[in-house]
Structure 1
Amino acid sequence: MKQFLKCSAAILAVAAPAVAFAQSTGSDDFDSIIVTGAVVNQGVGGVKIPDSPKAKVVLGQEIIQAQRPGQSVNEIINLVPGVSFTNNDPWGSSGGSFTIRGFSSDRISQTFDGIPLNDSGNYAIYTNQQVDAELIENINVNLGSTDVDSPTAAAVGGTVNIKTLEPSDDYGVLASVSYGNIVADGAGDRPYFRMFGVVNTGDLTGHGTKAWISASRIRNDAAWDCQDFRVRPGG
């Protein structure tokens, strides 16, 4: 019986300081706990929405490179809500109808590395005369608003800013070949053929001097002709 009491006393003596130590530490050192963090906007599928008071969308390379080769830039940004583009042909070589939030293309500023692409007379945009999609770094679309320093008067309905790729530090070659065909009823085939290539020179001098050289060729027949609209007997 005496041995049992001695063991119990020894256990109590060891446990008592641990309880006092935890209580004093909590009351003296930790007055409050503050947790801070930040939200990182990575975008979804290559579409990023910048932290801006304006309605703005940026399309990156991830989504640009996933589109059909040879298509116009305006066909690519047709994915953005509020932007509407209708091709005049399947190939993107005959232009089309382009609007942003109801404003027609002559009220939309489209720039290429800051250079205005709108016609100087009527502010029209020639959607079939744009840079190859493989050479685009990103496309910045302002919806229904304009930048203060926009270099054109045709910016009431918004702006489309195209930024080209920065040359790579390493030498590289990219080539792309596309082929398509439309079989029209009674009018024969309408083939489409496109070749594209770009060469990155890499760092030529060791001081950041670099460039890329690109060339492309596209050939296709007209998507429609008079034979497609001929009247047949009985309907």
Structure 2
Amino acid sequence: MKKIIAFIGIALFAITANAQSSERAKNYLLEVTKKINGYENMSIEFSFNQKDDKNNSKNFDGKGKLDLKKDLYNLTFMGVQKIYDGKKIYTISEEDEEVTVSKYDAKGVDGILPSQMLTFFNKGYTFQWDILQNVNGKKIQYIKLIPTDKKSVIKEVYLGVDSSTKNIYNKIQVNKDGSKSTLTVNSFKTNQSMSKNHFTFTQSLYPNYYINNID
């Protein structure tokens, strides 16, 4: 009987500890969301790494730059530039000398806006408080995210947050097939001076480009 009582006591303690961990992590991410939503604009330089030990052809490294003003964005990654002006997405390929113009579709390939990716964790995940690491002199607090959708290809996500600024430092996504991707913020600047045309496409800058209107 004593062993059973002790076991129940340990189980209840574990449940309570997990609940406290989840609540602590949730409150921490609310601070992160509030901080992000408070910026007028953001300018982010990042690196992206994808690794799949089962299929090396999927492995790659890349760097990019993203400027954000609410939902508007100007993204350069892997030789392609994307501009979203609030209505249409302009995909500019310097190599092909082509600009593809499409309407924004929330259910389409480009449906997830970069601004939403900075607060993706607010829906579809449970939270757990994880480790605190010292990375290049920064104290990075990790929050473990577990998808609530059991059919998700994602096993878990580790979101690293700079504990001093409450800005996102990196995102590590581990998939059920064993592949992993890491996005790391190398430079994070806020409330920068940006021209009013920074989030609009100026066709005169691409006189010899083929304009492909698909919508």
* TM-score, scaled to structure 2: 0.24
Highest Rg: 1 or 2?
1
**Larger strand share, 1 or 2:** 2
Greater relative contact order structure (CA < 8 Å, 6+ sep): 2
* TM-score, scaled to structure 1: 0.22
